[in-house]
Amino acid sequence: MSDIDTRTPASATSTATPGPSGRLSRRSLFGLGGLFTLGAGATWALDRFVIEHAEVTSASTAWSSNDTSAAVTDETGTVSGLSYAGGNATVSITQHSSGSGSDTITWFVADILLSDATAVRTAFAEDTYGENIIENPSVIAADNGAVFAVNGDYYGFRDTGIVIRNGVAFRDAGARTGLALYGDGTLVPYDETATNADALVADGVWQTWSFGPSLLDQGVVIDGIDEVEVDTNFGNHSIQGNQPRTGIGMVEANHLVAVVVDGRSSGYSRGMTMTEFAALFADLGATVAYNLDGGGSSTMVFDDAVVNDPLGKGQERGTSDIIYVAG
């Protein structure tokens, strides 16, 4: 997706209470002057878009007490280059490129084989669920002992979508096409408005993400995805055109692929259209694929180092959550 700096909130309501620090997030660097030009709306914009709102602190304690997540145990694995082999998962990362000059595209593929789907975990920035709470993906990864990670869906920018993480439901506000990872290792796109978080957890859902669009239907690229918008409120850049991308897909149960595409860097990587991104997953043999947050958020981390080059600047941007495999 586009840089978070340009996003405008979809809703003026917020029922969360301010976080312990009450501080402005790094997103305030986007230029508070721009917000203050809103006049009477400036206070609302700051509250909804910039000021941290912590709803659940020490979120990981909810996961550790969850019966399903109790099945996940720390494991000793082996790192070799950009590969990891552990008890419940193996991860192998490869770098790819195509084109030349201004048409060059660079992307990274993580092939993930699971013996237990609950080895795919998620974590929140500052171990806190809420709005506008961010940390660099590599920091979240290090705090959670992740050997591999990618950015998630930036759930903390919006107040809609179903949020289930590590088997625990945090939000039940269906709004779009979501993606569910079940305990049997299958990825399933679903209509959030046709179900609810409790039903999904009862059905064995381990993780959900709410961004999109869904990219493949039984391995075939879905028509019209280049016209889809996410968070279509005023001031948003769309996810259309050549953009940095992050996505996750399934080849078969317990065989996942995560892809990060760099972009907005002429001569290194222009990014991909949504249809190109979907076709890439199809070429990898995926039957299901789903678009996560992109733009400056698109980050892949392995063994405490950032693998890709976000926006060609060698610098991460804070986000609200990651998807990871622990080492």
HEC per residue, 22-69: CCECHHHHHCHHHHHCCHHHHHHHHHHHCECEEEECCCHHHHHCCCCH
Distance CA 282, CA 220 (A): 7
Task: Give me the amino acid identity at 266.
Answer: S
- Tens digit of pLDDT for each residue in 14-73? 333 333 333 333 333 334 444 445 555 666 455 656 677 788 889 998 876 565 444 444
**Residue 108 or residue 69, greater confidence:** 108
Query: Which residues pair with residue 150 across a beta bridge?
Result: 300, 323
Mean pLDDT over each residue of the chain, to the nearest integer? 85
At residue 237, the pLDDT reads 57
Quote the pLDDT of residue 21: 34
Residue labelled with tokens 């084989």? 113
Q: In what order do the strands lie in the sheet containing 205-209? A: 187-191, 177-182, 205-209
Alpha-carbon distance of 97 to 95, in angstroms, equals: 7
166 near 63, Cβ under 8 Å? yes
Tens digit of each residue's pLDDT (9 = 90 or more) over 193-222: 999 999 999 999 999 999 999 999 999 999
**% of the chain at pLDDT higher than 90:** 69
Q: Is the pTM of this model over 0.75?
A: yes
Query: Does the pLDDT at position 284 exceed 60?
Result: yes
Residue 282: pLDDT over 60: yes
Model confidence pLDDT, tens digit, residues 299-309: 999 999 999 99
How many CB atoms are closer than 10 A to CB 85? Answer: 13
10 Å CB burial of residue 213 (0-12, 13-18, 19+) is buried
